Amino acid sequence: MKDYKLKLILSILAGVVFSFMFILLAFALPVEKKQTVLKANKNMLEKISGGLKK
């Protein structure tokens, strides 16, 4: 019976620790995503879309 209680307590403790780590990561990671579209790629896409519109 003691072994069962020990496993239960340790599993609850492990769940709390992992949950806390993920909560901290959610606050530590940046929310905004920077757009990294290269200008050359953007110009090429504009040329292709212009050619398709004609």
The pLDDT tens digits for 7-38 are 999 999 999 999 999 998 888 877 776 666 55
pLDDT at 4: 92
Q: Where are the alpha helices (DSSP H) in 1-54?
A: 2-28, 39-53
What pTM value is reported for the model? 0.48
pLDDT at 46: 75
Q: Which residues of 35-53 are buried (b: 16+ CB within 10 A; e: fewer)?
A: eeeeeeeeeeeeeeeeeee
pLDDT at 9: 96
